[in-house]
A and B are shown apart, each in its own frame.
Chain A
Amino acid sequence: MHAVMNLTFTEEEDAFRQEVRAWMQEAMPEGLRRAAQGAGGLNFEESVEWHKLLYAKGWIAPHWPKELGGTGWDATRRFIFNEELEMVGALRISVLGLSMVGPLIMQFGTEAQKQRFLPKILRGEEFWCQGYSEPNAGSDLASLRMTAEDAGDHFIVNGQKTWTSWAQNADWIFCLVRTDPAAAKKQNGITFLLVDLKTPGVDVKPMLTLGHAPAFCDTFFDNVKVPKENIVGGLNQGWTVAKALLGHERTLLALIGPSRHVLHKLKHIASTKTVNRRPMLEDPKWRAKIARLEMRFRAHLMVSYRALSDQQKGKMPGPEASILKLVGTKLIQELTELAMEVMGENSLTWYNEGVCAPIEESIGPYFCYERSATIYGGSNEIQRNVIAKMILQLPSR
């Protein structure tokens, strides 16, 4: 009997990581690097700049098929690449385009839609936002009310979408709209529709988030004319299209890279402080506090490695991958909270310059922003409902 179980990356994979890291070191301008590590992270213009650098390198869409501009990397290399990206604090701006609407257009779109939309997403010429939630349709998404009335070759769209993150900078929005109010099951009356945000009648109102970046928006639609060719996946098939996304990149919400990043940051911050006139990082109590979260991180990391090991073999991840979002989002909140605690009074700082070290300036806004982690992408309560039903197969009422 010989063990084949293997928890480490191969030499080639480690070399790949080094290559990615070295390129990021070299290609990322100092200004971007500082911004990525500072309070609030990259703003829109900086993100676009980073997007274009990644595009020029050919690395903007590793998960896309090679012929459409992907890299041809396997699951492990994609995982490593994402982790390195997250470690420099600079995720691609166009997650909504590259990871959400892009793959859906590939799967459900017409040939014309593919040619019209995909290249512009890839080149960073058009940015997307998501129009799912409404003021009265949050966790109960299927009760959404924004209407699209049939007007011959086009729809007339009316209603409001909320939490349309980055809409103030986006060119297009992908929406779930009600096209059949009479459908017996409310899920069956919904269509997936692409809307040009420059169309008359669309009004975007950004709102500040707790992290103070204007990430969220309300988007209003007042008699907006949308051509029927912008339907993706067929009339009244929107729910099916939206559900397909749930399977995509589920592992991204494990937040492995961001957790590692915060762990590094908080240790670094601790190394600059003293407790009882001795370095904080030498204090057993503080070391123990950090150790507890780091051990938790290791267990979480192993769950995501199990999923990765399946993906690498071309298999769907096992049921345990369903806990990645639950555990990862809670962990990032605990880590950012510990970072605040390590900072002590410096955790009061809020977008100052020259007051605290830049690395400390980044913590408060990020801590506030990650309060959304347990809410976005299907709140953790909804996740539990789904796991209880789908995986544990507990009875419903």
Chain B
Amino acid sequence: MDFELDQEQQMLAKTVSDFAKNESPVERFRKLRDDGTGYDPAVWRKMGELGWLGVPFVESVGGFGGSFIECAIVLENLATTLVPEPYLASVVLGGMTLARAGNATQHESYLTPMIEGESTLALAYSEAQSRYDVSAIETTATPDGSGYRLLGEKVWVLNGHRADHLIVSAKASGGVTLFVVPREAEGVNVTVAKTIDGQEAAFIKLDNVAVADDARLGEEGSGAVVLDRTMDYAAAAAVAEGVGIATTMLQMTVDYLGTREQFGVKIGSFQALQHRAVDMYAESELLRSISMASMVRADEEDPRTRRGDISAAKYQLATGGIWVAQQSLQLHGGIGVTDEHDIGLYFKRMYALNALFGDQEHHVARFASEPSSF
């Protein structure tokens, strides 16, 4: 039993946290949100140079042979100042899917450049009706010559409007299958949609997009298992980010309670608010603790040992994490409900994380249906 990060991991955490604080404070997120730029490819390249984009991948594709723990460390610390570069979308959703499903040539063409910060990826898996079920899709892949034609519509594709390559799920005769599609390919129609947390995502129409056979990742029908696995990584990633959000919100709130005065005293001296703050602390430590379990479990091959803690972690985000966000806003009073104060930006990010990769009911049902947990 050992919950301590090793020296390299601690150093990684510090480097990322320093970067977030010094080079990408919340004002940067705000500015890029307001001018419509979203994020900066130069910063993405720098993340590649620093090695952050390759932490979970093997050396042979240009990665650093770490584990998902390193990924979670980066995500948690980037979240502390809402760094907008598409780490979750590109490294976790796109990268982890490609790493598991692709062959060496595909890794070299799509994964390695992403790790170097030269390009970004997106995963187009969700459809209007599918609601957390990666197999409930209607997009089709119809054989056409030696390749396929893709027809369908994907929703809420994170980084889908900026990614160089999309990984798209579609039903082929063998079942759910994954394909790599250049975003600029003919027939790929991207509509940008704003998200609650001040970011953007894409709705993507695939209008008989022609893809060659070598764009297929793995065998026909192998996509569902891979996506299922990616969703576990993504849920663990969202929780890691949620830890960064919750701890930051708690600290901001405790600071506010210690400075704001009413009735001639610091409001943090009121017992009702102290007790609330302690309960927030408890929820955020529960979230951090189960997040540690989920980031370790994410790399487990056996779903019976992997899923339980990941669902438990996402459930804690949906309950405790959301509660911390709500109370942080409440204790800030009126200023918390203005766009000009940062606390609300974190609040909205927590809700975005809550809605992605399985909500509370989804994970309760999944946990409850696993015989291993009973």
Contacts and interface: CB of A to CB of B under 8 A. Distances in A.
A binds B: yes
Interface of A: 1-9, 13, 76, 267, 281, 284, 287-288, 290-292, 294-296, 298-300, 302-303, 305-306, 308-310, 312-313, 320, 323, 326-327, 381, 383-385, 387-389, 391-397
Interface stretch (B202-210, B223-231, B290-298): B290-298
A326 B315 CA distance: 20
A379 to B, nearest CB: 12
Interface in B245-262: 254, 257-258
The interface residues of chain A, by DSSP majority, are classed as helix
B286 A327 contact: yes
Contacts of B1: 6-9, 13, 76, 305, 308-309, 312
A7 B311 contact: no
A292 B315 contact: yes
Given A312-B1, A384-B274, A392-B277, A294 B367 contact: yes
A276 to B, nearest CB: 17
B70 interface: yes
Contact of B374 (A2, A6, A281, A299): A281
B369 interface: yes
Interface stretch (B163-171, B173-181, B263-271, B341-349): B263-271
Given A7-B292, A395-B266, A300 B286 contact: yes
Contacts of B286: 296, 299-300, 302-303, 323, 327
Interface in B22-41: none
B258 to A, nearest CB: 6
B89 interface: no
B275 interface: yes
Nearest to B271: A385
Nearest to A312: B1
Interface of B: 1-6, 8-9, 12, 55, 64-67, 69-70, 254, 257-258, 265-266, 268-269, 271, 273-275, 277-279, 281-282, 285-290, 292-293, 295-297, 299, 308-309, 311-313, 315-316, 320, 363-365, 367-369, 373-374
B128 to A, nearest CB: 25
> Which of A1, A320, A387 has most B Cβ within 10 Å?
A1
24 contacts: A2-B6, A3-B6, A3-B66, A4-B4, A5-B6, A7-B1, A7-B296, A7-B297, A13-B1, A76-B1, A287-B374, A290-B374, A292-B364, A294-B373, A295-B315, A299-B316, A327-B282, A387-B278, A392-B277, A392-B278, A394-B257, A394-B258, A394-B274, A396-B269
Contacts of B266: 395
A395 B282 contact: no
A95 to B, nearest CB: 25
Contacts of B289: 299, 302-303, 305-306, 320
Contact of A303 (B258, B285, B373): B285
Contacts, number: 169
A381 B312 CA distance: 27
A1 B9 CA distance: 8
B281 A291 contact: no
A84 B294 CA distance: 25
A312 B295 CA distance: 22
A392 B66 contact: no
A326 B65 CA distance: 40
Contacts of A385: 271, 274-275
Contacts of B9: 1, 3, 5
Contacts of A391: 281
A303 B292 CA distance: 10
Contacts of B296: 3, 5-7
A5 B69 contact: yes
B308 to A, nearest CB: 7
A383 B70 CA distance: 35
Contacts of B2: 4-6, 309, 312
Q: Which 6 pairs from chain A and chain B are nearest by CB?
A: A302-B289, A388-B274, A1-B66, A287-B368, A291-B368, A299-B290
Contacts of B66: 1-3
Contact of A1 (B70, B268, B278, B312): B70
A284 B290 contact: no
A386 B285 CA distance: 17
A308 B254 CA distance: 27
Contacts of B278: 323, 326, 383-384, 387-388, 392
Given A288-B368, A292-B364, A298 B290 contact: yes
> Which of B2, B55, B269, B313 has most A Cβ within 10 Å?
B2
A312 to B, nearest CB: 6
A98 B373 CA distance: 35
Contact of B287 (A5, A8, A299, A383): A299
Given A4-B6, A312-B1, A287 B268 contact: no
